[in-house]
């Protein structure tokens, strides 16, 4: 049971990315569409940015559960949440509490993802002198 407790931040991170982000963006919910119309992502139609961000959130939410993709998934999730924090302020959408919490969880996941042998975050595990 104890070994599964370390995945609680991963589950919360993925749950927020999917249920509070990706679903609304990928289904074209009206509030999401109006926000992305204001953002004008790369000068494209709102659906381009909305779907791109939604797929990024979905990919990050899934990737965080697999060791080979955990770091990049956390980085993608953090980047998307930093954008969400910025646009919460720029478009006056209210307090960005959920994006801040999600970004913090992503940073925690990123900081604890490392070699299982030597516990160094920078070690890839392939060249570690300590056997896993």
Which pLDDT belongs to residue 112? 86
Which pLDDT belongs to residue 128? 63
Confidence class for position 132, pLDDT limits 50, 70, 90: very low
Which pLDDT belongs to residue 42? 82
Q: Which two tokens stand for residue 58?
A: 């979905």
- Residue 1 DSSP label: -
Entry field: residues in the chain: 132
Average pLDDT over the chain, rounded to an integer: 87
* Spatial contact of 48 and 88, defined as CB atoms under 8 Å apart: no
Between 120 and 23, whose confidence is greater? Answer: 23
d(CA 29, CA 35) in angstroms, rounded, equals 10
The contacts of residue 3 (CB under 8 Å, 6+ apart) are none
| pTM for this prediction | 0.83
d(CA 9, CA 6) in angstroms, rounded, equals 7
Q: Give Cα 130 distance to the centre of its chain.
A: 31
Cα angle 92-82-31, degrees, rounded to a multiple of 5: 45
If one counts every other C-beta atom within 10 angstroms of the C-beta of residue 84, the result is 21
- Residue 20 DSSP label: I
Which pLDDT belongs to residue 15? 95
Q: What's the rounded mean pLDDT across residues 37-50?
A: 88
């Amino acid at each position: 049971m104890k070994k599964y407790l370390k995945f609680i931040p991963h589950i919360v991170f993925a749950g927020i990315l999917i249920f509070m982000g990706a679903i609304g963006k990928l289904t074209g919910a009206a509030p999401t569409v109006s926000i992305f119309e204001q953002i004008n992502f790369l000068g494209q139609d709102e659906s381009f940015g909305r779907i791109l961000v939604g797929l990024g959130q979905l990919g990050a939410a899934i990737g965080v559960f697999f060791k080979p993709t955990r770091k990049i998934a956390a980085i993608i999730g953090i980047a998307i949440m930093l954008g969400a924090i910025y646009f919460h302020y720029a478009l006056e959408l209210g307090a960005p509490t959920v994006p801040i919490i999600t970004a913090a969880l992503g940073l925690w996941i990123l900081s604890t993802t490392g070699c299982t042998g030597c516990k160094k975050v920078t070690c890839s595990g392939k060249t570690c002198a300590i056997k896993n």
